[in-house]
Copies of this chain bind each other. A is one copy, B any other.
């Protein structure tokens, strides 16, 4: 859940999504990632830091270079949140269709 929150915030930035999409093709070094992006290398480093804290990527040292790769952890947390939300929404959706006269849910509690 806390991972899911950070993951959503991380994926909100278009540049970070581009970084992730390129990492989805396989692990890369920082310089390789920055080469195909319209931002500077330090900017990519900062984005990778955010992605790492969100559990979306992992890094390993390899000589002087640092290799980044996709980490399934953060993605799993986000998918779990979406699945739970998806099911809950559909459930309420069908319940709503059964009682169309209660569309405003006026009698339901505001705060659980």
Interface footprint category on A: 35 or more
Query: Are A88 and B8 in touch, CB under 8 angstroms?
Result: no
Instruction: Note all chain B residues with C-beta closer than 8 A to A49.
Output: none
Chain B CB within 8 A of A44 CB: no
Query: Are B90 and A32 in touch, CB under 8 angstroms?
Result: no
Q: Which residues of A57-73 are within 8 A (CB) of B?
A: 62, 65, 67, 69-70, 72
- A82-B92 contact in complex given A8-B12, A26-B108, A104-B65, C-beta closer than 8 Å: no
Chain A interface, >50% SS class: helix
Instruction: Note all chain B residues with C-beta closer than 8 A to A65.
Output: 104
Query: Are A110 and B70 in touch, CB under 8 angstroms?
Result: no
Contact with B along A69-91 (1 / 0, CB 8 A): 11010010011001001101110
Nearest CB to that of A84 among chain B residues?
B24
Chain B CB within 8 A of A35 CB: yes
Chain B CB within 8 A of A105 CB: yes
Instruction: Note all chain B residues with C-beta closer than 8 A to A90.
Output: 72
